[in-house]
Structure 1
């Protein structure tokens, strides 16, 4: 690497840098350190379009909570005030909106946050070869990377779609005109115009004939670019914020993923933008419900989850949609190739971090603590850990890097094979409040950042004791795909529980989007349900389940909160959780002590129903009591067949006869009821 050129004249550097950016149609990150007067000079000389700050004043100042207004707009130079806080997700949002030929200014204070491992690492990245550093006092420096003049490329990009986008548009139109169940997958790094291509394709389809097109994405802000390009390309009329109309009656509308799968609205074409932020089970349901779909996925960047998602999703498509087509978009849309800002972002926030995989996955695994301070100064180790988290979890974001390096009361454990990190566990200490604070939190008057599990349990039970002593919450467990199913996760949890015991912690717990597989893992380790959220997560489509385990003396509140979980769950099933997977319902009820055994009178009624002497409407209470007690005491025995799931659907979730009979392949209520009688009779005879 060349030595960075240093000078004491920051404005001279700035003028030179502006010329380099314009001639190359690229962007540079520019660190800026100085007082407010110095900053104003830089803003003026740098032709800054907008300043994002919560402390500076002026008509062109945008507060951090409004920064998403800049998303996808192709804006000029922007300055971000990072002297108080660094919100990496928002920083990346802005960076992706700055067009080629402009600069991204990063305002820093080199004397603040000496205790922040993240901030100190961030400051060191100002010396990266792709970045400039403008200091009011001390040496300023130019980037050492050079880019070629690409004016011909600029002319190409300002005239319309890139070649990759044209290929993507053709692929999307083929999804609609070709054979059913042959979806398209658009894949690229950020800034390659996937959303724009989807919008342009939607407009062309809508203008050719009357079509209904639905767009889904975890957040509407993700698809504003798509709607903007559709409106421009097709001269479409905005019906409401979530809908565009063409003169011939075609409509483009947005529907959130959970609402899409719940209501299943009709459409001729479904566009799934940023599929990487949607869990695979939900994408699988979309493939089953809709026959003409185009997906987009960010390989790297703040929306995506790395190449691991694309690999898993390709496997899903191979299984459920043979004949699917993949389009990889390569040309950058708003800037030239080899853009310095993009390469700096990749290095700074580990967008391109890919995990190392030991050749021999049969070697002994050793678990040991990970030191955050050492991690901040050990880039290879940091990249391995972060890439591991990205590989294992669909919602990893750059802000997780801040938490990883600066998290308070945090426990990090690593599982190593031949010295290579192959698994990791992250946990946080919660609770331990004084009496007044505990009472305020339990009564809902206060809410502290962090302390997710302790505060939730206390607030929803009204029990102050939950907050009085500290507990540990497992935030995340990650294991390389090549090392899964080898007991590494259990090994990490065991080491974690041992460490908790050594700190005299009585309660450990975790919280996650509930599904059968995760439940089986945690319940096998002795973790017990304490609370289940009543709203599905919009991105994952799952309910948040909170589990706990006492590893030393069990506190008085533990059994009471668990009793409340079962007491409420058995009545919530038919309302709040009526759309829950039947196997998960059975799994959550297993081991419940909240259901007393049915009386001899109830059992006699169940037998009469099974023999055909009494109709269903006359014995619903007895059937419910017998069946739910059976699930609780006999675990999930005999629940692998469809009739067991049918019983849950009808008796516990209260699905209609028409819905149940159609789903399980019976001809109306009479046929379905007969199958229930047969199954119950077999169970009573055992």
Structure 2
């Protein structure tokens, strides 16, 4: 039965250039046997190579290419005839998305699952990761798999076989659904031709498989012109990365230096491979065989970082005979060297934060290639927010949207099922439905998983808002929302449409033995703030208070800046006031976000010493105390932050954005016993006052200036200290941070802050110091001031 079913579904898939899904539900070993039978049946009908089959499983020893669930991303960009996903033991939604994307048109996706009726109640390795302390595995629900099973049972093109749980043998198997779809045969599409006036070589267009892809390559020709930005958007599997690679190779052949970047090298591998192939074809114009050295352009093959052989450099760099090159750098690193390349290609741009993407607009020319709906994050932040920044930039923008799949036809049933099962196309309510909403009229609701599962539209729009909120919201997060016992979803709803959503995580309340193990080096999953405060910042008692962390918060883009986010936070604070000791948040620090969280009552306790590799930002952690225990925790760590930052500003934080430092310091709770005075010697006060009001110089007592600047900026944005705040304008604060606290040289400070000369910068330091003398000066300092003022 299994062989016959596989051959029928395979033939139907080949005829229509679609894919089919076969579910083998029941005993794991019997499912594996049946999977081998499927592969043998497909091979007998149309011989396939062993590397045309891949399996994602926690087991080993298969005769196919093997991937562990955590490594399934290795299938991105790969093409397989049959992909088997073993859902027993550890079912990871992200792994399912990566595996399904590797199945070629005419291929089969095979899922090995427990009995479908019992599967939602079975706990596995993925569920153990959701059981964050103090919760137990029994607290994790199976709602995500319950929904998944429902999609398997109703979508077309999905065959389900009950392989049984008893003795092996075909007589113990039962066909539940045959998955027959009877689609029309696929039509042959003519390969696109090279435009008559195209600048790129013939090989670039000959490698295109669809007219959409050729249009993308044509648009990317404009990267040769400075001041150009190209945006290529598509669903997964439309060939955008290949088009970008063909363009990169073509530009390099013309002598250009092309910088390729992405969240990780695996995301950009396809770009580099297509560029390498094109360069090889052009350098190998005599048509020699692959084994001939001429096929390598006369070059000596070198070992790549992945142990492969290539004729055109390393896996991360390709050089051409014309002096051009294509090279990869991680996004955060690439953003720091945009003066060097002639053109930049950002692949999987939707998986990068808007603040980092904005930095690439300083490149001579740039292309942003993004997956609109992807299991690693749907990238609505790119589609909505970055578009606003791009529209304001001084670039000529060209847009291309790829709709035609490369490896299977549009409307493929496996793709439609996957989009539904993983909510890959989740998006907020349409703008027209919420545009006139007022925050005062919104209803505050607790969106528990049962409520979300009972309303597909509510679930999709809620998850869609969470996708907008963060550049890395992924399919695993959908499972967390529905199953994790420590997570809560709260929303403001207008006319039954969620317009502001927050995802909250309970943390802390950890027993003494757990806190001790954390202090000694153990990591505790799902307790980000207690783990940070305990293991890194060395506070063994930090895990005792009960915390609530804001994991995500998002307001509908049509309503941003209208108070919905603030009102949602206010309602959350009120609801949990009797239930937790503090509320916390951690995020990539930007001046705007620091202002938002400071206004909401959160105070800085940590700023990371390094940039996040993906976001390119320094992460900040902030607390808002609720009880006395929370206030004690904040006081302890605000004090520790102040002590750390005095040294870090001229060391690990020396290059951090000046406005991020201003925001982090300004949002830090000041020392209640030390903010009214600064402990300087009489000699230091004379030096400071002389620099402010007379002929003195900053370099005579830099430490004294540092003490004053630090005291002035810490807590400067907090309204509770407004009566004792130092009145400094933005320019003065930036100068105090760059020159005084971060210790930049006069020349670097002048260039960075835009002063016309070193002398003018020195004068500005004196002017900025006057309010500090007025606020913190001793009687001696005031007498010295009066000497200069009164002559």
- Once the two structures are TM-superposed, the CA of residue 330 in structure 1 deviates from its matched residue by 1.9
Map of 1:267-666 to 2, 5 A cutoff?
Answer: 267-288=341-362, 290-356=363-429, 357-358=433-434, 360-362=436-438, 364-444=441-521, 446-503=522-579, 505-555=580-630, 556-590=632-666, 591-593=669-671, 597-599=678-680, 601=682, 602-632=684-714, 634-635=716-717, 639-666=728-755
Residue deviations 1:36-68 (CA, integer Å, cap 9, x gap): 234323333244712111136423243224323
Of 314, 323, 340, which aligns to 1:240? 314
Partner of 1:259: 333
Of 170, 185, 190, which aligns to 1:149? 185
Pair 263,576 (structure 1): closer, same or farther in 2 beyond 3 Å: farther
Task: Answer whether contact 2:35 2:84 (CA < 8 A) is retained.
Answer: no
Task: Answer whether contact 1:472 1:509 (CA < 8 A) is retained.
Answer: yes
The 1-side partners of 2:542 and 2:380 are apart by 41
Task: Answer whether contact 1:13 1:141 (CA < 8 A) is retained.
Answer: no
Of 55, 58, 66, which aligns to 2:59? 55
Task: Answer whether contact 1:443 1:459 (CA < 8 A) is retained.
Answer: yes
- Once the two structures are TM-superposed, the CA of residue 642 in structure 1 deviates from its matched residue by 3.1
Partner of 2:274: 229
Partner of 2:91: 86
- Once the two structures are TM-superposed, the CA of residue 684 in structure 1 deviates from its matched residue by 5.1
- Once the two structures are TM-superposed, the CA of residue 411 in structure 1 deviates from its matched residue by 1.9
The 2-side partners of 1:184 and 1:633 are apart by 43
TM (normalized to structure 2)? 0.80
Pair 502,10 (structure 1): closer, same or farther in 2 beyond 3 Å: farther
- Once the two structures are TM-superposed, the CA of residue 95 in structure 1 deviates from its matched residue by 1.8
The 1-side partners of 2:537 and 2:507 are apart by 17
Task: Answer whether contact 1:186 1:296 (CA < 8 A) is retained.
Answer: yes
> Does residue 1:675 correspond to 2:764, yes or no?
yes
Residue deviations 1:566-586 (CA, integer Å, cap 9, x gap): 110121112111222212212
Residue deviations 1:221-246 (CA, integer Å, cap 9, x gap): 10011111111111173422211111
Task: Answer whether contact 1:306 1:352 (CA < 8 A) is retained.
Answer: no
Greater shift after overlay, 266-275 or 469-478? 469-478
The 1-side partners of 2:190 and 2:68 are apart by 32
The 2-side partners of 1:32 and 1:604 are apart by 83
Unmatched 5+ stretches in structure 2: 43-51, 122-140, 164-172, 194-204, 281-295, 297-310, 718-724, 776-791
> Does residue 1:140 correspond to 2:215, yes or no?
no
Greater shift after overlay, 217-226 or 292-301? 292-301
The 2-side partners of 1:524 and 1:248 are apart by 56
The 1-side partners of 2:543 and 2:101 are apart by 42
Pair 637,617 (structure 1): closer, same or farther in 2 beyond 3 Å: closer
The 2-side partners of 1:99 and 1:422 are apart by 39
Task: Answer whether contact 1:371 1:412 (CA < 8 A) is retained.
Answer: yes
- Once the two structures are TM-superposed, the CA of residue 674 in structure 1 deviates from its matched residue by 2.9
- Once the two structures are TM-superposed, the CA of residue 449 in structure 1 deviates from its matched residue by 1.5
The 2-side partners of 1:156 and 1:37 are apart by 46
Pair 565,154 (structure 1): closer, same or farther in 2 beyond 3 Å: farther
The 1-side partners of 2:600 and 2:245 are apart by 48
Q: Equivalent residue of 2:80, what SS?
A: coil
Partner of 1:6: none
The 2-side partners of 1:587 and 1:358 are apart by 32
Q: Equivalent residue of 1:76, what SS?
A: strand
Q: Equivalent residue of 1:597, what SS?
A: coil
Greater shift after overlay, 29-38 or 80-89? 29-38
Task: Answer whether contact 2:316 2:328 (CA < 8 A) is retained.
Answer: yes
Partner of 1:112: 119
> Does residue 1:183 correspond to 2:175, yes or no?
no
- Once the two structures are TM-superposed, the CA of residue 100 in structure 1 deviates from its matched residue by 1.0
Task: Answer whether contact 1:609 1:619 (CA < 8 A) is retained.
Answer: no
Task: Answer whether contact 1:297 1:304 (CA < 8 A) is retained.
Answer: no
- Once the two structures are TM-superposed, the CA of residue 648 in structure 1 deviates from its matched residue by 1.4
Partner of 1:3: none
Residue deviations 1:628-657 (CA, integer Å, cap 9, x gap): 222236548655543431331111112222
CA-based RMSD: 2.5
Task: Answer whether contact 1:598 1:626 (CA < 8 A) is retained.
Answer: no
Pair 38,434 (structure 1): closer, same or farther in 2 beyond 3 Å: closer
- Once the two structures are TM-superposed, the CA of residue 409 in structure 1 deviates from its matched residue by 2.2
- Once the two structures are TM-superposed, the CA of residue 304 in structure 1 deviates from its matched residue by 4.4
> Does residue 1:126 correspond to 2:117, yes or no?
no
The 2-side partners of 1:167 and 1:247 are apart by 27
Residue deviations 1:444-488 (CA, integer Å, cap 9, x gap): 1x2122111111111233322222343221211122122333332
> Does residue 1:20 correspond to 2:12, yes or no?
yes
Give the aligned length.
672
Residue deviations 1:145-199 (CA, integer Å, cap 9, x gap): 44332251397799630222222112222121x3x21211111111111110010
Residue deviations 1:294-325 (CA, integer Å, cap 9, x gap): 11121111244344521322221110134211
Partner of 2:211: 163
Pair 32,640 (structure 1): closer, same or farther in 2 beyond 3 Å: farther
Q: Equivalent residue of 1:183, what SS?
A: strand
- Once the two structures are TM-superposed, the CA of residue 667 in structure 1 deviates from its matched residue by 4.4
Map of 1:195-214 to 2, 5 A cutoff?
Answer: 195-207=241-253, 209-214=254-259
The 2-side partners of 1:498 and 1:17 are apart by 56
- Once the two structures are TM-superposed, the CA of residue 501 in structure 1 deviates from its matched residue by 3.0
The 1-side partners of 2:662 and 2:186 are apart by 62
Task: Answer whether contact 1:423 1:480 (CA < 8 A) is retained.
Answer: yes
Pair 634,294 (structure 1): closer, same or farther in 2 beyond 3 Å: closer
Unmatched 5+ stretches in structure 1: 1-8
Compare CA radii of gyration and give the structure with the larger one.
Answer: 2
